[in-house]
Structure 1
Amino acid sequence: MSGVIVTGPPKAEAKDVEALAGYGVATVHEAMGRTGLLPAHLRPIQQGTRVAGTAVTVLSWPGDNLMIHAAVEQCGEGDLLVVTTTSPSTDGMFGELFATALQQRGVRGLVINAGIRDTQELRDLGFPAWSAAVCAQGTVKATGGSVNVPVAIGGQVIRPGDVILADDDGVVVVPREKAAEAREAKEAATRAAFLQGQLGLDRYGLRDKLAQLGVTYTSYEDHARDGAAS
C-alpha cells in the first residue's frame, strides 16, 4: 500500500472552532440538519470532556501505526487527530507516548476507528480520546498509508481541516466551509430558545457547574436570618 502525506491543507477558522466547542455533539448534529454524526461505536475513554479541533486525518494499514508517526509532524496547535484503517482493526495503535508527543504540539485529542491502549495513562495526561476498541495488542511499523487525505468512518467523510467535535455523546464532523454556518445556526437556535424563556443556566448545563463550585441557593429570609445569627 503506497500513500501520500499532504502538507498545509486548508482549515476551518479558529474562531468558528472555538464557538462550536461551546456546544454539545447532539446540539451541533441537530443544528446541521442531523448530519455529520460518526458511528456510535466510537466511545470516549474518559467522561465529562468536550473538545473541538481541526482534523488531521490518517489512513493506516490494520495493526500498523507507521502513519500515525508520520502524522505527528503534520499536527499543530488546535488540531485533533483522526485515524482509521483500510479494514477493521482493534489492535492498540495509539498509546501514552503518542499522546505525550501530540500534547507538546498543542493537539486537543484523538478519534481512532481502531484500538487504543494505555488508557489510564491517557486519562492521567488529560489527553482525551475516542476509540472503537481498547486493546493491549501492539502494532508494527511496516506499511505505507496516507496523512491529510479524506477518510471515511461509518459512511461519514472527514477531510483534513474539518471541525471534529467530541464529547460523552459521541463524535460529529462539521465540514470546514460550513463551520461558520453551523455556529450561526446554533446561535440562532439559542436565541430562539432564549426568546421562549429558556435560561442559559439550563441550555448550557451551568447548574451542575454552580454545584461543583459550591454555589448554593437560599431564600432571602434564610439568608437574612443566617447573617444575623453569625
Structure 2
Amino acid sequence: MHELGVVHRTVTRPARSEIAALEPFGVSTVHEAMGRCGLMRPYLRPVYPGARLCGPAVTVLLQPGDNWMLHVAAEQLQPGDVLVAACTTECEDGFFGELLATSVRARGGVGLVIDGGCRDVTALQQMDFPVFSRAINSKGTVKATVGSVNVPVVCANALVRPGDVVVADADGVVVVPAERVGPVADASGLREANEEAKRQRFAKGELGLDMYAMREPLKAAGLRYVD
C-alpha cells in the first residue's frame, strides 16, 4: 500500500565520487553490468534529443491529474538530485513544464523521470533540462490532493527508493540501488573496456560467428548451409 501524506526529509545518498564514477556510462552498459536488471519500461522517453541524466533520486508519489507533490518535492532537492515521479494510477496529464523546471534547477536538481506527462518541451530543450516521461501532453493539472515525497515508489515497473541512482539516456532509464553504485560503476568500466576490444576486432572484419565461437553450437543445433 502506498504511504500517503508524508514527506521524508532524510535521504541517504551514495558518495559523490561513486555517482561521478557511474555517470560516464550509458543505460545499456549499466543495465548489463548490473546483471541485466533495473530497467524502467521502454515507454519512458526523453522529451528532446540528447537528454541524459545521472543522479540520486528524490521520489514523488503523485495523484492522477495533480502535481502538488512536485512543488513539495522541490524543497527537498540537493544539488545533483533527480526527481523521480510515479502516480497512484496511470495518468498522462502534463504534470511538469518550464516553470517547475526553473524551480527544480534553482534548487540544484538535474532532471526528472516521470511515469506521466510533460509539457513545454521546446522551453525544456532550450533550457537543456532533461526530462524522461511517459507522454507529452498539454493537459494541465490541479493542486488538490496530497501524495508523498521520499517514499519507495514503483515508476514504470521499477522500484525506486530515495537515494537510489537513476541513469537515463536515449536508450532508456535504469535504476541502480544506492548500495550498489560503486560496484556497478566498476563493472561498467570493465564491460566498456571489453566492448572496445571487440569493437576493434569487428572493425577489422572479424565475424561474431568466430569471435564468440558460434559455429560448432550452430552446427549442433542443426543449422545447415546450402549452396
Structure 2, unaligned stretches of length 5 or more? 204-227
Report if the CA contact (8 A) 2:58-2:76 is conserved: yes
Q: Which amino acid aligns with 2:8?
A: V
Report if the CA contact (8 A) 2:51-2:131 is conserved: no
Cα displacement string for residues 99-158 of structure 1 (whole angstroms, at most 9, x for unaligned residues): 001111111111010011111111111101000011111111000110000000233100
For residues 157 and 63 of structure 2, the distance between their equivalents in structure 1, rounded to whole angstroms, comes to 19
Report if the CA contact (8 A) 2:29-2:191 is conserved: no
Structure 2 CA distance for partners of 1:134 and 1:49, relative to 1, 3 Å: closer
Cα displacement string for residues 48-106 of structure 1 (whole angstroms, at most 9, x for unaligned residues): 23210110000010000111110000011010000111000011000101000111111
1:44 equivalent among 43, 46, 52: 46
Larger mean CA deviation between 130-139 and 14-23 belongs to 14-23
Question: Percent identity at matched positions?
Answer: 46
Structure 2 CA distance for partners of 1:122 and 1:188, relative to 1, 3 Å: same
* Residue matched to 1:209: none
Structure 2 CA distance for partners of 1:166 and 1:2, relative to 1, 3 Å: closer
For residues 4 and 142 of structure 2, the distance between their equivalents in structure 1, rounded to whole angstroms, comes to 16
Answering whether residue 32 of structure 2 is matched by residue 53 of structure 1, we say no
Q: Which amino acid aligns with 2:97?
A: G
Deviation at 1:198, TM superposition (A): 5.3
* Residue matched to 2:35: 33
* Residue matched to 1:94: 96
* Residue matched to 2:21: 19
Q: TM-score, normalised by structure 1?
A: 0.82
For residues 195 and 4 of structure 2, the distance between their equivalents in structure 1, rounded to whole angstroms, comes to 51
Structure 1, unaligned stretches of length 5 or more? 203-230
Could you say what the CA RMSD is over the residues aligned between the two structures, in angstroms?
Answer: 1.6
Task: Please list, as runs of the form range in 1=range in 2, the aligned pairs for 1:3-152 lying within 5 A after superposition.
Answer: 3-152=5-154
Report if the CA contact (8 A) 1:21-1:50 is conserved: no
Q: TM-score, normalised by structure 2?
A: 0.83
Deviation at 1:29, TM superposition (A): 0.3
For residues 181 and 39 of structure 2, the distance between their equivalents in structure 1, rounded to whole angstroms, comes to 15
For residues 22 and 193 of structure 2, the distance between their equivalents in structure 1, rounded to whole angstroms, comes to 15
Deviation at 1:193, TM superposition (A): 4.5
Structure 2 CA distance for partners of 1:26 and 1:197, relative to 1, 3 Å: closer
Q: Which amino acid aligns with 2:112?
A: L
